[in-house]
Structure 1
Amino acid sequence: MKAFETLFGGARLRWIAGALVVVNGFFPALWILLTSLKNEAELVAKPITYLPHAPTLSNYVHAFGDQPLLLFLMNSAIVALASTALAVVVAAGAAYAIARLDLRWRGLILSAIIASSMFPLVTLLVPIFQIMRSLNLLNTYAALVLPYTVLSLPVCTLVLVSFFQAIPRDLESAAMLDGCTRLGALVRIVFPLSAPGVFTAAILAFVNAWDEFLLALSLNSAPAYRTLPVGITLYQGEYAFPWPLIAAALVVAIVPVAALMALFQERVIGGLTSGGLKG
C-alpha cells in the first residue's frame, strides 16, 4: 500500500487521472480530424498510419458537393436554436414557480421531473410519431422542435431551480414595490442574476437537439428537412463506407458545438458547479 502511494500518490495520481481524461475526450475527435485529411488508399493501408502522409482537403469538397451539407447544417441550426429557446423559456417559468411558490408537493414534483427524464427515447418514439402524424406535423421543423423542447425541459428546469432558489426574495419584493410585476421581476432581476444557470441550461438543450438522430430519422423523412446527423448517414454506399468523406462531414458537425463550448466554457462550468453547490 505504501509502495502504491509512493508510486501513484499525490500529484502523480492527479496527472495520470487528468491525462486519461484528456486522452479519452480528445483522441476520438483528433482521430476523426486526421481521418478526414487522408485519402481512401492511405486509410486502408497496412501498417496503420496515424498522421496523413499527404494531407488533403478534397474530402471536405466532396462532403459539401455530394450531399446538401449546408442544408443539413441550416436545418439542424433552426431546430436546435428554436427548441433551445422554447425549452429555456418554459423551464424558467416552471423553475420559478417551484422555487418561489409555496407548493405543498414540491418534492414530489421535482421527483416526477427527474423520473420523466429517465425514459429511454426509443420507448417514446411510437407515441411521439403518432402525435406528430395526428397533428399533420411530419416533415416539418415543428415535428422536431416540439419533442426536443419537451425532452430538454427536465434538465433545464432542474438546473434553473437551484439558481432561482439561491436568489434572495427581497430583490424581487423591492422590484415589485417599484411597480414591477412578478413576470417583470423574473425577466429583469432573476434572469440576469441566474445567467450562468441560463447559459448552462441553454447549451445542454442545444447540444441534445444538435446531436439527436432517432427522432430526426423517424419524423422527418423529406430531404428538405433532414438534419445533420441524418444527412451524414447518406454518405455511406451500398457496399462500402467512404470513411474519409464521412469523417469530413463529422468534423463539420462537431465544429459548431466545439466553438460554442469554447466560447461559453467558463459560464457552463460555473453554472454546473454553482448549481450543484446551491442545490
Structure 2
Amino acid sequence: MKRLSRFATRFLFYLLVLFVVVYSAFPFYWAVVSSFKPSGELFSTNPSLLPLPFTLDHYKNVFLQANFGRNLLNSLIVAGGATLLSLTLGVMAAYALGRLPFPPRSAVLYIVLSMTMFPQIAVLGGLFILLRQAGLFNTHLGLILSYLLFTLPFTVWVLVGYFRGLPKELEEAAYVDGATPLQTLLKVMLPLTGPGLVTTGLLSFIAAWNEYLFALTFTVGDSVRTVPPAIASFGGASPFEIPWGSIMAASVVVTVPLVILVLVFQQRIVAGLTAGAVKG
C-alpha cells in the first residue's frame, strides 16, 4: 500500500508538472507554428499543430518592412539604458538601505515598495505632462526615465536583501583600512553581487523590452517607437485584415533572444532571487 500510495503521489506530481509546462509553453509554441504557416492556414477550421505547409513569407514581410529594424534598435537602446541606469542607482540605494544605519531606512523601503503598487495607467497622465514640459517627449531618454518607475523599485528590493546577506567582516575590514563607504561599495561589496546584478539586470531588461503602454503613449512615429507598439501597428492588405502571420513572426523574433538569455543565466537568476528573498 505504501508503494502504491507513493507511486500515485509521484504520478500526480509529474502530471501536474507536465500540465504546468504545457500550459506555459503552448502559447509560445503556437506562435512559432503560426509564424511558419501560410496566411490561409491560420484561419482553417481544422488547424494543424505542425507548420504544414511550411513558409518563411511572414518573416520576409517583417524584415522587409523598412522600420522594423529601427524599432528593434530603439528597444535595445531604451531597455539597455533603463537597465544600466536602474542598476547604477539601485546599487547605491540598496547598499545604503541594506548596510548603512540611519533611522528612516524602513520607511524609505516601504516608500520604494509603494511605487510598484500604482498601475501604469494611474501615472500615465502625470508622466506625459512631465515629459512634455521637460522636452523629453518622443525621445529615448524620456522612455528610459519613465521605465525607471518599475525597474528601479524592483532592483532596489532585490539588491537590499542581497547586500544584507553579505558578511559584515568584509565591510569592517575595509573601514579599518581607511576606505570610504563608496570605496567599500565599489571595491569590496560590488564584486560579490554578481548573481544579484545579473538577476535584476536581466529581469529589468525583459520588463523594459516588453513594455507597451508607455512606449505607445510617449512616442510618435517610428523614430523612437519600440517593438511592442510597432508590432501592434502592423497592417494587412486591407483595413479590415489583421496580419496574424507577420505579428506572430515578429513576436518570435523579439522573444527568442530573451528566452536564450534566460536559459543561459537561469542558475544566476535563481541564486540572485533566492539570496534577495531569504537572506538578511
Relative to the length of structure 1, the TM-score reads 0.93
Shift of 1:67: 4.5
Distance 1:201 1:88 in 2: 8
Distance 1:60 1:250 in 2: 10
Tell me if the contact between 2:165 and 2:275 (Cα under 8 Å) persists in the aligned partners.
no
Which residue number corresponds to residue 230 of structure 2?
Answer: 231
Q: Which moved further from structure 2: 211-220 or 187-196?
A: 187-196
Relative to structure 1, the CA distance from residue 7 to residue 46 in structure 2 (aligned partners, 3 Å threshold; closer, same or farther) is: farther
* Runs of 4+ residues over 3 Å off in structure 1: 5-9, 176-180
Which residue number corresponds to residue 122 of structure 2?
Answer: 123
Distance 1:73 1:175 in 2: 44
Q: Which moved further from structure 2: 115-124 or 94-103?
A: 94-103
Which residue number corresponds to residue 28 of structure 1?
Answer: 27
Shift of 1:269: 1.1
Shift of 1:7: 9.2
Q: Which amino acid aligns with 1:277?
A: V
Tell me if the contact between 1:200 and 1:268 (Cα under 8 Å) persists in the aligned partners.
yes
Which residue number corresponds to residue 241 of structure 2?
Answer: 240
- For residues 191-270 of structure 1, the aligned pairs below 5 Å read 191-237=190-236, 238-270=239-271
Tell me if the contact between 2:67 and 2:222 (Cα under 8 Å) persists in the aligned partners.
no
Tell me if the contact between 1:152 and 1:208 (Cα under 8 Å) persists in the aligned partners.
yes
- Determine whether 1:12 maps to 2:4: no
Relative to the length of structure 2, the TM-score reads 0.93
Which residue number corresponds to residue 134 of structure 1?
Answer: 133
Q: Which amino acid aligns with 1:224?
A: S
Unaligned stretches of 5+ in structure 2? Answer: none
Identity over aligned residues, as a percent? 36
Tell me if the contact between 1:199 and 1:267 (Cα under 8 Å) persists in the aligned partners.
yes
Distance 1:13 1:174 in 2: 53
Distance 1:221 1:256 in 2: 26
Unaligned stretches of 5+ in structure 1? Answer: none
Distance 1:264 1:62 in 2: 32
Which residue number corresponds to residue 52 of structure 1?
Answer: 51
Q: Which moved further from structure 2: 47-56 or 132-141?
A: 47-56
Distance 2:95 2:169 in 1: 15
Distance 1:142 1:112 in 2: 25
Which residue number corresponds to residue 109 of structure 2?
Answer: 110
> Secondary structure of the equivalent of 1:225?
coil
Shift of 1:9: 4.6
Shift of 1:179: 4.2
Tell me if the contact between 1:72 and 1:231 (Cα under 8 Å) persists in the aligned partners.
yes
Which residue number corresponds to residue 277 of structure 1?
Answer: 278
Q: Number of residue pairs matched?
A: 276
Tell me if the contact between 1:143 and 1:220 (Cα under 8 Å) persists in the aligned partners.
no
- Determine whether 1:68 maps to 2:59: no
Q: Which amino acid aligns with 1:202?
A: G
Relative to structure 1, the CA distance from residue 125 to residue 189 in structure 2 (aligned partners, 3 Å threshold; closer, same or farther) is: same
Q: Which amino acid aligns with 1:252?
A: V
